[in-house]
Homo-oligomer: A and B are copies of this chain.
Protein backbone atom coordinates (compact mmCIF):
# COMPACT_ATOMS: atom_id res chain seq x y z
CA UNK A 1 0.00 0.00 0.00
CA UNK A 2 2.85 2.38 0.70
CA UNK A 3 5.16 1.11 -2.01
CA UNK A 4 7.29 3.21 -4.30
CA UNK A 5 6.74 2.88 -8.01
CA UNK A 6 9.00 3.77 -10.89
CA UNK A 7 9.43 7.43 -11.63
CA UNK A 8 11.45 8.89 -14.44
CA UNK A 9 12.29 12.00 -12.42
CA UNK A 10 13.54 10.02 -9.44
CA UNK A 11 15.79 7.88 -11.61
CA UNK A 12 17.11 10.95 -13.41
CA UNK A 13 18.02 12.54 -10.11
CA UNK A 14 19.63 9.36 -8.84
CA UNK A 15 21.63 8.87 -12.05
CA UNK A 16 22.81 12.45 -11.85
CA UNK A 17 24.10 11.89 -8.35
CA UNK A 18 25.73 8.64 -9.38
CA UNK A 19 27.68 10.29 -12.14
CA UNK A 20 29.08 13.28 -10.34
CA UNK A 21 31.54 13.82 -7.55
CA UNK A 22 30.46 17.37 -6.83
CA UNK A 23 28.16 16.54 -3.91
CA UNK A 24 25.58 18.85 -5.40
CA UNK A 25 22.85 20.79 -3.62
CA UNK A 26 19.22 20.32 -4.64
CA UNK A 27 19.43 23.55 -6.60
CA UNK A 28 22.47 22.31 -8.55
CA UNK A 29 20.74 19.06 -9.51
CA UNK A 30 17.74 21.08 -10.61
CA UNK A 31 19.83 23.41 -12.78
CA UNK A 32 21.65 20.51 -14.41
CA UNK A 33 18.47 18.63 -15.31
CA UNK A 34 16.25 21.58 -16.19
CA UNK A 35 17.49 22.18 -19.78
CA UNK A 36 16.70 18.62 -20.90
CA UNK A 37 13.60 18.41 -18.71
CA UNK A 38 11.90 21.77 -18.85
CA UNK A 39 8.85 20.66 -16.91
CA UNK A 40 10.88 19.44 -13.94
CA UNK A 41 10.19 21.40 -10.78
CA UNK A 42 12.48 22.21 -7.88
CA UNK A 43 9.99 20.78 -5.40
CA UNK A 44 10.22 17.43 -7.15
CA UNK A 45 13.99 17.47 -6.82
CA UNK A 46 13.74 18.12 -3.09
CA UNK A 47 11.04 15.48 -2.67
CA UNK A 48 13.01 12.81 -4.48
CA UNK A 49 16.31 13.62 -2.83
CA UNK A 50 14.52 13.06 0.46
CA UNK A 51 12.95 9.83 -0.75
CA UNK A 52 16.31 8.54 -1.97
CA UNK A 53 18.02 9.55 1.26
CA UNK A 54 15.29 7.95 3.37
CA UNK A 55 15.63 4.75 1.36
CA UNK A 56 19.37 4.90 1.93
CA UNK A 57 20.25 5.10 -1.75
CA UNK A 58 22.03 8.43 -1.25
CA UNK A 59 23.43 10.33 1.68
CA UNK A 60 22.59 13.74 3.15
CA UNK A 61 25.61 15.72 4.19
CA UNK A 62 24.89 18.67 6.46
CA UNK A 63 23.89 19.90 9.81
CA UNK A 64 20.35 21.09 9.21
CA UNK A 65 20.85 24.42 11.01
CA UNK A 66 23.84 26.48 12.02
CA UNK A 67 25.11 25.92 15.52
CA UNK A 68 27.74 27.80 17.49
CA UNK A 69 30.50 26.81 19.88
CA UNK A 70 32.58 29.07 22.09
CA UNK A 71 35.17 26.35 22.61
CA UNK A 72 37.81 27.18 20.01
CA UNK A 73 39.98 24.23 20.94
CA UNK A 74 39.66 21.70 18.10
CA UNK A 75 37.63 18.76 19.33
CA UNK A 76 35.26 16.18 17.83
CA UNK A 77 31.51 16.32 18.20
CA UNK A 78 28.71 13.83 18.46
CA UNK A 79 25.37 14.53 16.81
CA UNK A 80 22.25 12.62 17.79
CA UNK A 81 20.34 11.22 14.82
CA UNK A 82 17.13 11.28 16.83
CA UNK A 83 16.97 14.67 18.57
CA UNK A 84 19.72 16.61 16.78
CA UNK A 85 21.57 17.52 19.97
CA UNK A 86 25.31 18.08 19.65
CA UNK A 87 27.79 16.96 22.30
CA UNK A 88 31.52 17.41 22.76
CA UNK A 89 33.78 14.41 22.56
CA UNK A 90 37.00 14.26 24.46
CA UNK A 91 39.53 13.19 21.86
CA UNK A 92 42.92 14.61 21.02
CA UNK A 93 43.21 16.40 17.69
CA UNK A 94 44.96 14.26 15.11
CA UNK A 95 47.11 16.62 13.05
CA UNK A 96 48.72 13.61 11.41
CA UNK A 97 45.51 13.36 9.40
CA UNK A 98 45.97 16.88 8.04
CA UNK A 99 49.52 16.06 6.96
CA UNK A 100 48.35 12.98 5.12
CA UNK A 101 45.46 14.88 3.54
CA UNK A 102 47.91 17.46 2.27
CA UNK A 103 50.07 14.74 0.74
CA UNK A 104 47.28 12.81 -0.94
CA UNK A 105 45.34 15.79 -2.34
CA UNK A 106 46.14 18.95 -4.23
CA UNK A 107 44.22 21.12 -1.78
CA UNK A 108 45.62 23.48 0.80
CA UNK A 109 44.37 21.57 3.83
CA UNK A 110 44.07 23.74 6.93
CA UNK A 111 42.34 21.43 9.37
CA UNK A 112 39.55 18.93 9.81
CA UNK A 113 36.56 18.11 11.91
CA UNK A 114 35.35 14.77 13.19
CA UNK A 115 31.62 14.32 13.74
CA UNK A 116 30.33 11.15 15.30
CA UNK A 117 26.68 10.25 15.08
CA UNK A 118 24.24 7.74 16.53
CA UNK A 119 21.78 7.87 19.43
CA UNK A 120 22.63 10.05 22.43
CA UNK A 121 22.39 8.96 26.07
CA UNK A 122 19.27 10.96 26.49
CA UNK A 123 17.33 9.43 23.60
CA UNK A 124 18.69 5.99 24.45
CA UNK A 125 17.25 5.98 27.96
CA UNK A 126 14.00 7.68 27.04
CA UNK A 127 13.09 4.78 24.82
A13's nearest neighbour on chain B, judged by CB, is: B68
Q: Which of B18, B49, B85, B89 contacts A104 (CB 8 A)?
A: B89
Contact B120 A25 (CB under 8 A): no
Contact A85 B124 (CB under 8 A): no
Contact B104 A120 (CB under 8 A): no
Contact A114 B116 (CB under 8 A): no
Ranked 8 nearest A-B pairs via Cβ: A110-B118, A17-B70, A23-B86, A62-B63, A106-B121, A108-B119, A112-B116, A62-B66
A selection of 29 A-B contacts at a CB cut-off of 8 Å is: A17-B68, A18-B70, A21-B88, A23-B87, A25-B67, A26-B66, A29-B68, A57-B72, A58-B68, A59-B72, A60-B66, A60-B68, A61-B68, A61-B77, A62-B66, A62-B67, A91-B101, A91-B104, A97-B114, A106-B124, A107-B119, A107-B121, A108-B119, A108-B120, A112-B114, A112-B115, A113-B117, A114-B114, A115-B115
Interface members, chain A 1-27 (any B CB < 8 Å): 14, 17-18, 21-27
Copies of this polypeptide in the complex: 2
Contact A17 B69 (CB under 8 A): yes
